[in-house]
A and B are shown apart, each in its own frame.
Chain A
Amino acid sequence: MLHTNTIVDMSSTGALPLQITNLQIAKKGNLLLNEVSLKIESNDVTIVLGPNGAGKSLLLRAAHGLEAPNKGTIKWNAHQPEPQHAWRSYIFQKPVLLRRSVRANLEYVLSLHDVNKSDYDSLISAALEQTGLSKIADRNARVLSGGEQQRLNIARAWVLQPKVMLLDEPTAELDPSGTAVIERLIETIAQQGTKIIMTTHDLGQAHRLANDIIFLHQGCLIEHTTAEKFFEHAETKLARNFIAGELLTEDLST
């Protein structure tokens, strides 16, 4: 059972480090993630970067338990309470909102986690305010604009005030101004102490948001370093080529 006081407590106990060891995921005979090992410790914004098909989404999905590894382990800080979905939330690229009001979409998440009814109002108001949706709280979620839908998607993932938010290309379907709004929102949430792990193939976005970068290519971890180091002095040729905007056509062995 999850109660409000546990939610408040959770921001101080921390879900990190996230330790991924020798993670391997194959589908239909194709190796999609190959021996990925990494450790995420700092409570800021981690960007998973790479071209299409690098395995970014798969890595994120595995971290949320949406994919079962063929090999290897994924370990969050051991002392996390169950259920995991209360302290860790996941944002899909394309929001699937329920056919009900903005507010009811948030209520739904609270109802899944046995939150006290008396806490609904304060948690929902906080999430609405955070995402700037207070004025349209009673609108049907399905008639919102793309940007508003993604904001509600984030509000829904934030309403339990999780320690970790995993975001899979949250701005891929948005126009530049919608993207800017979401990026600002993500920054605010990170500043308030929620760990952000987010995939993108957008270099500019990675540059704007990242504290550290996980660079993947063809299912392999190429670099995991601070954003500063990655953009200034990337160690590998693959990363330098990607930053330069050149197509990554060469084989990993070269």
Chain B
Amino acid sequence: MNDFSHAFSKALQLIIQLDPALLEIIGLSLRVSITAVLIASIIGLPLGAALALYKFYGRGIIVALLNAFMGLPPVVVGLVVYLILSRSGPLGVLGLLFTPTAMIIAQVCLITPIVAALTRQTILDANDEYHEQLRALGAKASRMMKTLLWETRFSLMTGVFAGFGRAIAEVGAVLIVGGNINHATRVMTTAIALETRKGDIELALALGIILITISLIVTSLVMSARHAAYQYHS
């Protein structure tokens, strides 16, 4: 117990002193996950909207896959991305394995289904409400999609934040494709796993506190986006 409180105060000290090693890890974590969530949104928002609004061959299968992929185990995603990027894999020549780019790719694979599936549901509901009205006003299909995305922006944000929450807290995929290399691919989750095993509880604990704080911030952002969505929906 004494050890724990000692470690805890050391951890707080690291945070307050803005320990460079700590900052480097946090910085990389945020960079990887924010980039991943941006790319996932660029793909997932229009994909989800298109799945809601357009009928095309294979739509049912894509929807089923998206919903299934929402709960993908990160280690499996990591493994698949690893196989694709490894030297003998199809994209091996790019030499991306064990780089932050590989971690971004893995996280994009993890969270795009979340963003797309939630977008699809949101746009599906909004379309019920708006479709006839927009059609009667003379809106064409492409314009309708843009309008619905903008009208539901607060609801869609909850999906984007949920994706970010999953990305930043995830350890399996980034560990496999990133390799947890110091000063290169070490992020908060992989560092916690490593430092704990090494017995360097202080750093692990400090990172854990930061990670929980970020999670709380993201959760409160989700809640305020939901609140804004609710206000705007009524």
Which residues of A are at the interface with B, using a C-beta cutoff of 8 A? 64, 66, 83-86, 89-90, 92, 95-96, 98-99, 108-109, 112-113, 142, 156
- Asked if B138 and A96 sit within 8 Å, CB to CB, the answer is no
Q: Mark B1-21, 1 if CB is under 8 A from A, else 0.
A: 000000000000000000000
Question: Restricting to B68-123, which residues have a CB under 8 Å from any CB of A?
Answer: none
The listed residue (B137, B151, B232) touching A112 by CB distance below 8 A is B137
Known contacts A98-B147, A112-B143; A64/B232 CB under 8 A: no
- For A113, the chain B residues whose CB sits under 8 A away are 138
- Contacts between the two chains (Cβ within 8 Å), count: 37
* Contact yes or no, B132 A112, CB < 8 A: no
**Is the beta-carbon distance between B132 and A66 smaller than 8 angstroms?**
yes
Known contacts being A96-B130, A98-B147, is A83 close to B232, with CB within 8 Å?
A: no
**A66-B132, A96-B129, A99-B151 given; A156·B137 CB < 8 A:** yes
Q: B: which residues have CB within 8 A of A?
A: 129-130, 132-133, 135-139, 143, 147, 151, 232, 234
A12 shortest CB reach to chain B, Å: 22
A-B contact pairs, 27 of them (CB 8 A): A64-B136, A66-B132, A66-B135, A66-B136, A83-B138, A85-B136, A85-B137, A86-B138, A89-B136, A89-B137, A90-B136, A92-B132, A92-B133, A96-B129, A96-B133, A98-B147, A99-B151, A99-B232, A108-B137, A108-B147, A109-B137, A109-B138, A112-B137, A112-B139, A112-B143, A113-B138, A142-B232
Question: Which chain B residue shows the least CB distance to A83?
Answer: B138
What A residues does B147 contact at CB under 8 A?
A: 98, 108
Q: How far is the CA of A84 from the CA of B135 in the complex (A)?
A: 11
In angstroms, how far is the closest chain A Cβ from the Cβ of B132?
7
> Chain A residues with Cβ under 8 A from B132's Cβ?
66, 92, 96
Q: Which of B138, B139, B151, B232 has its CB near the most chain A CB atoms (within 10 A)?
A: B138
Output the least CB separation between A233 and chain B (Å): 37
Which residues of A lie under 8 Å from residue B232 when comparing CB positions?
99, 142
What residues on B are CB-neighbors of A84 within 8 Å? 138
Q: How far is the CA of A98 from the CA of B129 in the complex (A)?
A: 11
- CB neighbours of B135 from chain A (8 A): 66
By beta carbon, the residue of chain B nearest A140 is: B232
Give the chain A neighbours of B139 by CB distance below 8 A: 112
Give bound CA distance, A90 to B151, whole Å. Answer: 21
A250 to B229, CA, bound (A): 49
Q: Which residues of B contact A85 (CB under 8 A)?
A: 136-138
A85 vs B136: C-alpha distance when bound (angstroms): 7
CB proximity of A38 to chain B, nearest CB, Å: 22
B140 and chain A: residue at smallest CB distance: A112
A220 to B139 CA separation, bound complex (whole angstroms): 32
Smallest Cβ-Cβ distance to B138: which chain A residue: A85
In the assembled complex, the CB of B125 is this many whole angstroms from the nearest CB of chain A, namely 13
Tell me, rounded to whole Å, the shortest Cβ–Cβ distance linking A64 to chain B: 6
Nearest-Cβ distance from residue B164 to partner chain A, whole angstroms:
24
Give the chain B neighbours of A109 by CB distance below 8 A.
137-138
What's the least CB distance linking A163 to chain B, in Å?
A: 15
Given A90-B136, A96-B129, A112-B143; 5 other pairs, CB 8 A cutoff: A64-B136, A84-B138, A99-B232, A109-B138, A112-B139
Least Cβ distance of B229 to chain A in Å? Answer: 10
> Closest CB of chain B to A143's CB: distance in Å?
9
> How far apart are the CA atoms of A66 and B139 in the complex, in Å?
13
Cα distance A108–B151 when bound, in Å?
12
Please report the C-alpha to C-alpha distance between residue A156 and residue B137 in the assembled complex, in whole angstroms.
Answer: 9
Return chain B residues, CB-CB under 8 Å to A86. 138
Closest chain-B Cβ to A165's Cβ sits at a distance in Å of 11
CB distance from A166 to the nearest CB of B (A): 9
Contact B151–A98 (Cβ < 8 Å): yes
Bound Cα distance A66, B138 (Å): 11
Q: A89 — which chain B residues lie within 8 A by C-beta?
A: 136-137
Asked if B136 and A92 sit within 8 Å, CB to CB, the answer is yes
Of B129, B133, B136, B234, most A-chain CB atoms within 10 Å: B136
Give A88 Cβ to nearest chain B Cβ, in Å: 10
A113-B234 Cα distance, complex, nearest whole Å: 29
Q: CB-nearest residue of chain A relative to B229?
A: A99
